[in-house]
Amino acid sequence: MIYPEHLEKEVLRYCEISKIPVRNGVIPPFYIPEIKRFLRVKQKIDISLNRAEEERNRLSLTGEAKKYIKEAVESPIEEFMLMAIYKHGLEKHCRPQFKIGTKRVDIAFPIAKLVVECDGRKYHFLDQEQIERDQKRDVYLAKKGWMVKHFDGLIIRRNIDICIKEIKEYLNPYLGLMQ
């Protein structure tokens, strides 16, 4: 069964609790419907938790920060990512809609030469021409010394903590130098 990588630990934990035998990471076909039900329920819970988290983030930001974020982004998923970046205190290192050479990126952390791209499924994963443009842009940015991390809109909305954790792990050596 194929499921998102970030859910692997939770699925395996569910199997352990439910006494579902897993051999070499493979779940027996008989249990697949049960795992699918678990994932559907998990998804509904994640959606409601993330909506609540999004609302808390909005309420916790000052009026000026809210206004800045609204003006600085081009999409709701970029807004959500930027709110999480603010919530975790990374905003002073962050530059939304940052220009690097001839390219503009969603969010940049110049101190670490890290680019964070917030990719909507319809635009970045289903349009072949856009996929090719993104790949060429990633190569261009890599030649300029930048690391590009792409986050799918669904992951941003449903598991923002995973995204922030990856960003922090990458930034940690650079932020440690500044403290």
pLDDT tens per residue across span 99-132: 999 999 999 999 999 999 998 765 545 567 878 8
pLDDT of residue 134: 84
CA 56-57-63 angle, to 5 degrees, is 110
Q: pTM for the full model? A: 0.63
User: Is 150 within 8 Å of 119 (Cβ atoms)?
Assistant: yes
d(CA 105, CA 95): 9
CA distance linking residue 115 with residue 83, whole number of Å: 16
Instruction: Let me know the angle formed at the C-alpha of 115 by 113 and 116, rounded to the nearest 5 degrees.
Output: 145
Which CATH number is 74-178 given?
3.40.960.10
Average predicted confidence (pLDDT) for the chain: 81
